Amino acid sequence: MRCPACEHMLYKRTVEKNLTVCPECTHHFRIGAATRISYLVDDGSFQQILEDLTASDPLGFKFRGTTYKQRIKDDEKKSGSKEAMQIGKAFIKGRGVVLGVMEPNFLMGSMGYVVGEKLCAAVDKAIEESLPLVVVSCSGGARMHEGVVSLGQMAKTSAALAKFDEARGLFISVLTDPTTGGVTASFAMLGDITIAEPGALIGFAGPRTIAETIKVELPEGFQTAEFMLEHGFVDMIVHRKDLRSEIARLIDYCQK
C-alpha cells in the first residue's frame, strides 16, 4: 500500500502492526470503529449498547439512482456496523468509561437520527453510572438524507452534554481525520478536554469548499490538528500509540 502523505510503498501487515500508522512519516490512516475500539480498550471489555438501533427513511430520499434504504444496507455490509456510531461500556487501562466511536465507513460517519440518539444514550449511561464519557469522532458531518431530522440532533446532543456538565461528568472528545460539519458544530467540540490525532482535518466546511466560496488563499495547513492546536481549538495532539495511556492519565488527573 502507498502512504498518501509521504508516498512510500508499505507492507499492509507492517502498517497494521503499527496501529495503522505509517512507520515512515507517522501519517495516521483512517480506521473503522471496530479497529478503533480494539486499539483503545482493554481486551474483551467493550459491552455494546443499542447495537440494533437503525435509521428510518423519513424523506424517502433518493440520490443518483440509489435510495437511502439501499445505501444503509450497502454500508452496513461494507462497514460491519448497523450505524455510524457504536456506543458501550468499556475499560481503558482499568478505568471504566462509557465510549462512543464513529464509523467512517458508514455514510462517511455522518450524524443522523440514530447517531444523535446513541450519543444521548451514552450521556445518560455515563450520568447513571458516574463514569467518564469518551467519544471518538470521525465524520463528514450531519446526514443530508434525513434533512432537518438530522440537523435537530446537533441541538439535542449539545443539550445532553450540557446536562452531563451539570452532573459534573468528565467528557473527553477525541477528534480524528476527518471531523467536520454538524459533528464539529455540536458534540465534538464540547469536550472538557479535546484531543486530536496528528494531521487530522478538523473544521466545519472543508478547505476546498471555503476556497471556492470566498475566493481567498487559506493559511498553510489550514484546519489540520496542528493548526487547531496553535489557535486554541484543541487542547493536545496525541499519537495513536499513546492515546490509551493519555486518556487513562486524564481520568486519574480529573479524579473520575
169 grid coordinates: 461528568
Span 236-254, mean pLDDT? 98
User: Cis before residue 178, ω within 30 degrees of 0?
Assistant: yes
161 with 211, same domain? yes
Rg of the chain over Cα atoms, rounded to whole angstroms, equals: 18
58 with 159, same domain? yes
In this prediction, residue 217 carries a pLDDT of: 84
56 with 146, same domain? yes
- The CATH number that applies at residue 193 is 3.90.226.10
* Cβ-contact 113, 146 below 8 angstroms: yes
> Is the torsion defined by CA of 154, 200, 76, 161 positive or negative?
negative
91 with 205, same domain? yes
101 with 20, same domain? no
236 grid coordinates: 493536545
36 with 71, same domain? yes
1 lies in which domain range?
1-29
In this prediction, residue 256 carries a pLDDT of: 79
* pLDDT at residue 85 greater than cutoff 90: yes
Between residues 214 and 89, which one has the greater pLDDT?
A: 89
Cell 483503545 maps to which residue? 40
94 with 2, same domain? no
Q: Residue 140's closest CA among 87, 83, 96, 202? A: 202
| C-alpha dihedral (112, 232, 126, 250), degrees to nearest 10 | 140
Span 224-250, mean pLDDT? 97
Dump pLDDT digits (tens) for 173-230.
999 999 999 999 999 999 999 999 999 999 998 888 888 899 888 888 999 999 999 9
How far apart CA 195 and CA 214 sit, in angstroms, is 29
Lowest mean pLDDT among 56-65, 139-148, 232-241: 56-65
176 with 211, same domain? yes
In this prediction, residue 116 carries a pLDDT of: 97
In this prediction, residue 216 carries a pLDDT of: 85
178 with 241, same domain? yes
In this prediction, residue 208 carries a pLDDT of: 82
192 with 231, same domain? yes
Span 58-66, mean pLDDT? 90
21 with 59, same domain? no
Q: How many domains would you assign to the chain? A: 2
- Average model confidence (pLDDT) across the chain: 96
